[in-house]
A and B are shown apart, each in its own frame.
Chain A
Amino acid sequence: MRPPQPFSPPTVGQVLTHLKRYPAREPSKLTAWMPIIAMATVIVLTMVIQSDWVLLLPWLTVGVVFVLLAMKMRNAQRLEQRITDAQELAMLRHWRQSLRLTWRLIPSLVTQPPLHGRAVALIAHCLDQLKAYDAAITAYNHLIDCVSAQDPVSIQIRIHRTIAQLANDQLIDADDDLRKLRTHTDVLAHPVIGAAYKLAQLVQQVRTNHWAEAVEDADQRIDHLRPLGVDAGYGYALTALSYYKLDNDDTAAPLANAGLWWSRATLLLPVGTLVDRFAELDQIAHALPAQSNTPPRLTTTQPQSP
Chain B
Amino acid sequence: MTPSNGQTRAAQRSPTTQTPATACPIFVPGALQRELAIDSAIRWVLTTIVIVGLIAASVWGSEESAWQMLLIFGIIGVWFTVTASATRAAQEIPKITALLDRNLTGAEDLLAHALKRRHMPKAIRLLLYHRLAVLRMRQGRFAEAAVICQAVLAQNPQTPTRLTADTGSSRSKPTHLDMAWAPHRNTEGLRTSLLLMLAESCLRCQDPAGAYMGLQQLHRQRLRLLDLLQLLMLQTRYEIATRQRTALHRVDKKISMAELMPAPQCGAMHGLLATAAERNDQTNLADWLWRRAQLLCTTEQLDALGITAPFLQPKAPNSAATLGSALR
Contacts and interface: CB of A to CB of B under 8 A. Distances in A.
A304 B249 contact: yes
Contact of B251 (A81, A88, A295, A300): A295
Interface in B258-314: 259-263, 266, 280-282, 284-285, 288-289, 291-292, 295-298
Nearest to A293: B292
Interface string B223-263: 01100000000000000000001101111100100011111
Nearest to A260: B328
B263 A77 contact: no
Contact of A296 (B186, B259, B288, B324): B288
Contacts of A222: 295, 324, 327
B320 interface: yes
Nearest to A77: B186
A91 B260 contact: yes
Nearest to A269: B259
Among A92, A227, A295, the one with the most B-chain Cβ atoms within 10 Å of its Cβ is A295
B30 interface: no
A77 B189 CA distance: 12
Contact of A298 (B260, B262, B282, B328): B282
A232 B295 contact: yes
A88 B224 contact: yes
B266 A91 contact: no
Interface in B64-99: none
A108 to B, nearest CB: 19
A268 B292 contact: yes
A230 B296 contact: yes
A300 B285 CA distance: 12
Interface in A74-97: 77, 81, 84, 88, 91-92
Contacts of A91: 225, 260
A226 interface: yes
Interface in B140-164: none
B295 A305 contact: no
Contacts of B186: 77, 81
A248 interface: no
A294 interface: yes
B168 interface: no
A306 interface: yes
A298 B251 contact: yes
Contacts of A300: 280-282
Contacts of A292: 288
Q: Which 5 A-B pairs have the closest CB atoms?
A: A303-B245, A229-B263, A296-B284, A88-B225, A305-B249
14 contacts: A81-B186, A84-B224, A219-B328, A223-B320, A226-B295, A226-B297, A232-B296, A264-B295, A295-B255, A300-B280, A303-B245, A303-B249, A304-B246, A305-B249
Interface of B: 183, 186, 224-225, 245-246, 248-252, 255, 259-263, 266, 280-282, 284-285, 288-289, 291-292, 295-298, 320, 324, 327-328
Interface of A: 73, 77, 81, 84, 88, 91-92, 219, 222-223, 226-230, 232, 260, 264, 267-268, 292, 294-296, 298-300, 302-306
